[in-house]
Amino acid sequence: MSQQKKAFQVDAQSLLDLSQKYGTPIYVYQTDKMEKQYKRLKRAFSKLDIHINYACKALSNINVLRFFRQLGAGLDTVSIEEVQLGLHAGFKPEEIIFTPNCVSFEEIKRAVEFGVRINIDNLSILEQFGNTYGGTYPVCVRMNPHIMAGGNTKISTGHIDSKFGISIHQMRHLQRIVESYGIHVNGIHMHTGSDILDVDVFINGAELLLESARQFSNLDYIDFGSGFKVPYKPDDLSTDVERLGERMTELMEAFFVEYGKKLTIEFEPGKFLVSESGFFLAKVNVVKHTTATVFAGIDTGLNHFIRPMFYDAYHHITNISNPQGNDRVYTVVGYICETDTFAWDRRISEIREGDILCFHNAGAYLYTMASNYNSRLKPAEVLIHKGKDYLITKRQNFEDLLANQVEIEL
């Protein structure tokens, strides 16, 4: 996005015009950025038989799922409802991998009935799976390599205290269950978390996963998860996926020689594919001066944009109504009856009441984590595709709040 006053455009469509057309707050996504990220990842690993499964928990709108299916992606799902969304979007069952955590075995059985690929991350469920299906239904196992990736326990999922995955130190127990029930393990998996910047950390985790893979002689694929970091600030660092592709290619080619055959390599990016494609637009309700700071209060809150409060995440904020105004220092806050602060003491071009603020990197883990807290309504979603804007989720109305409530006489 250009910083010039007349060039706040997404695919030749003015964000300000979109805020007027659809109202605020509003999420806006651009498919061309999604496609560029997808193709960039494919190119980085082009020497390997690579398959990308879009992690739909990042942004699960049905139109986004269909777009990634058209690009050739599979689908990474973590709930039976996401499985059903994927099937509804047109993915074939074999194109969907189901990687739940702490779900009931009944949910696993439903996924088997749908015919999707199953990825199991604990020994108890694996034993139940073996007792029910034996070797008749292939399964992937998720390993925990015990490494800290991303530097934040809220987004790191491969460390020793994580609830995710089977510990690499439980391999002997895992093997006993597999052998006792004749389970066909055709895939092995890890996901160490988000915002992995250090290529060496990823390679370290990959080497640990390959050590586990050597214990299974009939694998078809290895899934290395994702967690690639995207830039959040101007001049911010991000994962060098091209360098990672070079390192992973060297590692895997050597492994294939040792293993005796080539395997499919899978990744499951979510944020990497959609985060930078998204913008969130909100209107300034009030500029409030106190003895300590100047607050810019906007028509949204943590109910629509929870990442700064939940993950301490940074999102760049641009005043697209006054992009060439002089910078001033603001604390940007929401209208929820909580401390919903988006930015403390942030330099932003002068903010006036009624201005439209644009939050960058709004494509991942925002609408999917939105709520009706304070009985606020969820915003609309708009997709920009080939220069044209499409409403893909309607703004909620008051009747939507009551839709599933059952009124009784007391």
Token look-up 């998720």 returns 142
Report the Cα–Cα distance between both ends of the chain, in Å, rounded.
Answer: 55
Q: How many CB atoms lie within 10 A of CB 409?
A: 3
The H or E element that residue 359 is part of is: strand 356-359
Structure tokens at 56: 């739909």
Strand spans (E) along 145-220: 166-167, 185-189
The yes-or-no answer on residue 56 being catalytic is no
Out of 56, 102, 140, 337, the active site residue is 337
What residues form DSSP beta bridges with 75? 54, 96
Q: Please enumerate in sequence order all residues whose Cβ is within 8 A of that of 300, keeping only pairs 6 or more positions apart, or say none.
A: 24, 25, 280, 282, 334, 335, 379
Contacts 24+ apart (CB under 8 A), 116-123: 116/77, 116/83, 116/86, 117/93, 117/187, 119/187, 119/189, 119/223, 121/164, 121/165, 121/166, 122/166, 123/166, 123/170, 123/173, 123/174, 123/177
Beta pairing class for 117-120 and 139-144:
parallel
Structure tokens at 101: 């955590």
Active centre residues (catalytic): 337
